[in-house]
C-alpha cells in the first residue's frame, strides 16, 4: 500500500513539475516576443539574439502569410496534391474569414506566378473598374470635393474572385471546391480571433455598427470580437460554397451579384449587373530592374510596384554596405530617393488601358535613375518634391506567398484597402466592399482622374526576385504607401547587408509619409520621417540636423517571404513579427 502511494505521489509530483514548466513558458512567450520585436535583445539559447524567430526551413513546400490558420490551410492543400497556386487561393480564402478587415472577396488581387514547367513569370492584374454610371460631375453634385473614404461611392468592382478563377483555370490542379473547403469550415464552424487582429477589429467597431448587414457579419451583440473569442461567418461560408461549386460566374452574374446590386441600389450606390458582368482580370508582363545581379520583378501600374524599382535604381551606384545599416547617410539617401519616386508616382501611375503612353520603361531605366540621383543633396532634406497622401498610410492588406515541391512559386497580395473597406456589407453575403475608388483624382487633367470603367491607382504590390534565370525569392510587404518603401528596405537588408529572410524583416524600418499623391495631395515641409526604436538616437539627431521632420513610431508593414536555396534545395521562410502569422513548411 505504501509502495503504491509513493509511486502515485512521484507520478503526481512529476506531472505538477511538467505543468509548472509549461505554464512558465506560456507566461514568458508574450514577453519574449515583445522584447524581440522591440529590439531588446532577449538572450536566445542559440542563434541571433536579435531575431524574433528562427528561419523556417522545409524540403517540399511552404506557405507564409499573416495568420497561421491560413498558412496551415495552404500547406494542407499542398499535402493533398495541390500546387502553389491552389495553396495561395486556399490561404487567401481563409484570410478573408479570419482577417476580414484586411482582405476579402469584396476587394482586388494582384499576383506574380513563377511556372516551373515553362520557366516563366506571369503577372496578374485582378483589380476592378469604376462603375459605368460614375463621373466627377456626379461626385460634385452629391456634395463632395473628392470621393468619400467610406460608403458606396467609393466602390469599384471587386476583382478578387475573378483573380482566383483565372489563376485556377491556368495553373490550378485541385477542384476549386476542395481549395475553398478549409475557408468554408472556418466560416461555418468558427475560428479564434488572434491578438493583433482583435486590435484591428475593435478599431472598426464604429463603422461596422452603422449598417445592419455589417453588424450581422462582423459584430457580436454590437461589439467586435475580443482576443481568444470564437467567431464565425455563415453568410460567407454560403458564398464560398457557391463559388467552389459554380466558379466566378455566380459572383459576377448569379445570386451573389444580384444581392450586391440590390444592396447598392438601396444605399445610393452605382454598381450594376452590367458593371459586374463586364469585369475581366488581365494577364500582364511583370517589369524589372537588375540590382547587383538580382532581377527584381514588380507589376506595372495601375499599381505602385515600380516605385520600389525606381528607389533601387537610385541606390545602385552607392556603396550601401559601406554606408552601414540604418545609418544617417543611408536613411537620408533612402528618404530622398523615395520622395523622387513618389513624385513620379503622383503624376504617372494610372490605368494603362485608359491612359496610353505612360512612360513606364523610362521611369525604371538606369539613365533616368542617374538623372534623378543628381537631384539629391546628401547634406540636406528636400522640402518640396511633389509629395505624399495621408490616405495611403492606412491601407489594410494581406500578403501571402506559396512554393510547392516542383518549385512553382506564387506572390499574391489582396485587399479591400481601408480596414473593412468601404464599411458596407452588400447584403447577407459576409464580406465588405472595397473603397479603392477613393484613390481616383478629381483633377480633370490628371492621368488618374475619375472616369467610368477605369481602374483606380492601387497600392498593393506583389514582388519576386530571380537570379541567373532561376526563382530566388517571393516576397511582399503590406501597408499602403509603405509597400514600395518596405520592398526596397528588405532587399537592401538581404542583398547589401547579407541578412537572411527573417533578419530582413526583424530589422528596424523607416517610413516617409507626405509625398505628392495620385489623388492630388501635395507634400509640404518635406513630409514626415518615422523611424522605429532600433534606429539610434545619434542617427535621429543627425537626420534632424539635415532637415528631416523625424518622429519615433512603428513604420508598419506586413512582410512575408520564401527563398529557394538552390544549393541545398531547401525552402527558407520568414514572417512578419509585427503580425500574427508565420511561414509554415512541410
The set of catalytic residues is 397
What pairing do the DSSP bridges indicate for beta strands 528-531 and 550-552?
Answer: parallel
Torsion 321-325-330-334 (CA) sign: positive
| Nearest CA-CA partner of 111 in 84, 136, 134, 132 | 84
- H-helix or E-strand spanning residue 3: helix 2-37
Give the residues across from 398 on adjacent strands: 414
Say if CB 385 and CB 80 are below 8 A apart. Answer: no
Phi-psi region of 420 (alpha: psi -120 to 50; beta: other; left: phi over 0): left
Say if CB 183 and CB 97 are below 8 A apart. Answer: yes
Ordered alpha helix ranges (H), 106-150 = 136-141
Distance CA 61, CA 378 (A): 44
- H-helix or E-strand spanning residue 528: strand 528-531
Say if CB 585 and CB 60 are below 8 A apart. Answer: yes
Ordered alpha helix ranges (H), 118-233 = 136-141, 160-171, 176-189, 195-203, 205-208, 212-218
Distance CA 314, CA 337 (A): 6
| Nearest CA-CA partner of 485 in 463, 467, 518 | 463
CA distances for 149 relative to 57, 260, 419, angstroms: 42, 19, 11
3-state helix, strand, coil in the chain (%, to 5): 40, 20, 45
Supply 387's cell numbers: 509629395
* Dmax (CA) of the chain: 94
Say if CB 103 and CB 93 are below 8 A apart. Answer: no
Distance CA 503, CA 325 (A): 12
Rg of the chain (C-alpha set): 24
Cα dihedral 110/114/118/122 (nearest 10): 20
Distance CA 145, CA 260 (A): 26
Distance CA 397, CA 224 (A): 19
Residue 353 CA, chain-centre distance (Å), reads: 24
Distance CA 107, CA 502 (A): 29
| Nearest CA-CA partner of 347 in 478, 523, 513, 136 | 523
Distance CA 149, CA 78 (A): 39
Tell me, what DSSP letter sits at residue 360?
H
Amino acid at each position: 500500500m505504501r509502495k503504491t502511494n509513493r509511486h502515485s505521489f512521484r507520478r503526481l509530483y512529476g506531472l505538477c513539475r511538467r505543468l509548472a514548466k509549461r505554464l512558465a513558458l506560456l507566461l514568458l512567450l508574450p514577453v519574449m516576443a515583445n522584447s524581440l520585436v522591440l529590439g531588446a535583445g532577449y538572450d536566445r539559447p542559440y542563434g541571433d539574439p536579435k531575431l524574433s524567430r528562427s528561419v523556417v526551413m522545409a524540403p517540399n513546400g511552404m506557405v507564409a502569410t499573416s495568420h497561421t490558420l491560413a498558412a496551415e490551410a495552404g500547406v494542407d492543400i499542398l499535402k493533398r496534391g495541390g500546387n502553389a497556386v491552389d495553396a495561395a487561393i486556399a490561404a487567401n480564402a481563409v484570410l478573408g474569414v479570419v482577417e476580414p478587415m484586411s482582405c476579402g472577396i469584396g476587394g482586388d488581387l494582384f499576383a506574380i506566378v513563377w511556372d516551373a514547367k515553362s520557366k516563366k513569370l506571369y503577372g496578374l492584374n485582378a483589380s476592378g473598374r469604376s462603375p459605368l454610371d460614375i463621373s466627377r460631375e456626379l461626385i460634385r453634385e452629391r456634395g463632395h470635393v473628392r470621393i468619400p473614404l467610406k460608403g458606396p461611392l467609393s466602390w469599384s468592382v471587386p476583382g478578387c474572385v475573378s483573380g482566383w478563377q483565372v489563376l485556377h483555370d491556368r495553373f490550378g490542379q485541385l477542384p476549386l471546391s476542395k481549395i475553398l473547403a478549409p475557408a468554408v469550415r472556418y466560416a461555418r464552424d468558427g475560428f479564434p480571433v488572434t491578438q493583433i487582429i482583435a486590435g484591428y477589429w475593435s478599431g472598426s467597431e464604429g463603422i461596422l455598427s452603422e449598417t445592419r448587414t455589417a453588424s450581422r457579419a462582423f459584430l457580436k451583440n454590437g461589439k467586435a470580437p475580443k482576443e481568444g473569442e470564437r467567431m464565425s461567418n455563415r453568410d460567407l461560408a454560403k458564398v464560398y460554397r457557391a463559388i467552389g461549386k459554380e466558379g466566378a460566374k455566380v459572383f459576377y452574374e448569379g445570386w451573389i451579384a444580384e444581392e450586391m446590386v440590390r444592396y447598392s441600389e438601396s444605399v445610393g450606390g452605382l454598381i450594376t449587373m452590367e458593371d459586374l458582368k463586364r469585369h475581366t482580370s488581365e494577364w500582364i508582363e511583370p517589369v524589372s530592374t537588375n540590382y547587383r545581379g538580382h532581377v527584381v520583378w514588380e507589376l506595372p501600374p495601375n499599381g505602385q510596384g515600380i516605385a520600389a524599382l525606381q528607389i533601387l535604381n537610385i541606390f545602385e551606384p552607392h556603396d550601401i554596405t559601406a554606408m552601414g545599416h540604418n545609418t544617417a547617410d543611408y536613411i537620408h539617401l533612402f528618404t530622398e530617393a523615395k520622395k523622387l519616386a513618389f513624385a513620379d508616382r503622383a503624376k504617372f501611375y494610372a490605368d494603362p488601358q485608359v491612359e496610353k503612353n505612360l512612360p513606364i520603361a523610362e521611369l525604371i531605366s538606369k539613365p533616368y535613375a542617374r538623372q534623378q540621383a543628381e537631384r539629391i543633396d546628401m547634406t540636406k532634406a528636400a522640402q518640396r518634391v511633389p509629395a505624399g497622401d495621408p490616405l495611403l498610410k492606412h491601407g489594410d492588406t494581406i500578403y501571402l506567398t506559396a512554393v510547392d515541391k516542383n518549385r512553382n512559386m506564387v506572390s499574391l497580395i489582396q485587399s479591400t484597402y481601408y480596414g473593412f473597406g468601404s464599411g458596407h456589407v452588400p447584403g447577407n453575403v459576409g464580406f465588405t466592399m472595397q473603397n479603392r475608388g477613393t484613390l481616383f483624382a478629381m483633377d480633370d487633367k490628371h492621368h488618374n482622374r475619375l472616369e467610368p470603367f477605369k481602374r483606380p491607382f492601387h497600392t498593393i504590390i506583389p514582388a519576386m526576385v530571380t537570379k541567373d534565370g532561376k526563382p530566388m525569392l517571393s516576397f511582399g510587404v503590406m501597408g499602403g504607401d509603405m509597400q514600395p518603401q518596405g520592398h526596397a528596405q528588405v532587399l537592401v537588408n538581404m542583398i547589401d547587408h547579407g541578412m537572411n529572410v527573417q533578419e530582413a524583416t526583424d530589422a528596424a524600418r523607416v517610413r516617409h509619409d507626405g509625398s505628392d499623391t495620385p489623388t492630388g495631395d501635395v507634400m509640404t515641409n518635406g513630409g514626415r520621417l518615422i523611424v522605429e526604436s532600433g534606429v539610434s538616437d545619434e542617427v535621429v539627431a543627425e537626420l534632424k540636423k539635415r532637415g528631416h521632420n523625424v518622429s519615433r513610431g512603428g513604420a508598419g508593414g506586413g512582410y512575408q517571404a520564401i527563398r529557394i536555396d538552390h544549393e541545398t534545395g531547401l525552402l527558407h521562410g520568414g514572417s512578419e513579427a509585427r503580425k500574427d502569422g508565420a511561414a509554415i513548411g512541410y
